[in-house]
Structure 1
Amino acid sequence: MVTQQKEHIFSLDKSEKKFPAILVLQVWDFDTLSSDDFIGTVELDLHSFPRGAKSSKTCKGDMLTAEIERISIFQQKRARGWWPFTKCGELTGKVEAEFHLLTSEEAEKNPVGKARKEPEPLPKPNRPDTSFSWFVNPFKSFFYLVWSRYKKYIIVGLLVLITALFLALLFYTLPGAISQRIVMG
């Protein structure tokens, strides 16, 4: 990024200064009573930053330092993905973002910001209907958290348990039934 400004108040000519195009995103929690806490940050050099992960599960904390494919927003014009927020080298959160690089004509046609049209938001996330309160609705929470991931293991476990119970009852009652047949004739 190139800016022109006077070095001193009495300078006649403006001097050019070059700054790296770095986008800094920070996350803070907003506490009403106590002070706000810093959660994490991500710094993206717009000339060379890692391609965003396709999902939040594949977004890792070492993604920014790892040797993975890097892209430039000035060449690609559009980038979308998940990037990690870190604090002291520890993963503290993830953000899904989409970046568009526009020309000045495109930006004038579709302005966003204060007292203008809203920015183009991402589609609403697919959030579950459950409140995740074990006291209010325990079966709905169990179904969403456990059943959706471990359905086949639960079914196989129940089948094995029923089969083992049947065999245990068979071997428990079989000697008594055989001796009764021998005695009764």
Structure 2
Amino acid sequence: MAASTSASKPGCNKGAAPAQSQLNNVRTSSRTVPDQPFGLAYAKTGHIAFAALTSKLAVLSTDGTQPRLLHTIPLPAASVGKEGALGVTLTHDGRELLIAAGSGAIVVDAAKAAAGAPGAVLGTLTGTAGTSVIEVSISPDDRYAFVSQEYGNIQTGNRGDNEVFDLHKALHSGFGPSASIGSLPLGKAVVGTTVRQTAR
């Protein structure tokens, strides 16, 4: 009875899904890394990929048939939190890499990280709406960072939350509380956010 009721709703279809086409001539490869990977982002140039490990950032070369681990960069223990480093995203200009961790996001200079240069970790955007950060996304102009708190805290009614940071301000004026703009309580188990630019 329930099946026929739902099938009669607008937009519902009881038919089988169409067969999926096969991907032909796609080369695959894998690489074992020193810890549990979560997020992955590719640099804009240079055949480089960044992977979030539990307490480190892995930098891999993708210029051959097999990815190679070039080096790892330790992430600040106080910023990583108990869940470790998770989602990774790159700003649209390719300059900064943001890693969701703890109560906010760790901001890394992508070029320094790729080169293994000192000072790659620039600072941390620290939120106030929980410690269950899982993903981070960037506004199209690279000005704002949106950090998804999966479960929030008492302040959010234990609902998932999206915290907003002024990334530009943090990079130019320091990673203090003033970089935090605010937050938006959502529902349970908030994972990711997509930021879309609309035509004016």
TM range, normalised to the smaller chain? under 0.3
TM-score using structure 1 length: 0.25
Give the number of the structure whose residues are more often strand, by fraction.
Answer: 2
Specify which structure has the bigger relative contact order, considering alpha-carbon pairs within 8 angstroms and separated by 6 or more residues: 2
Q: Which protein shows a greater Rg?
A: 1
Give the number of the structure whose residues are more often helix, by fraction.
Answer: 1
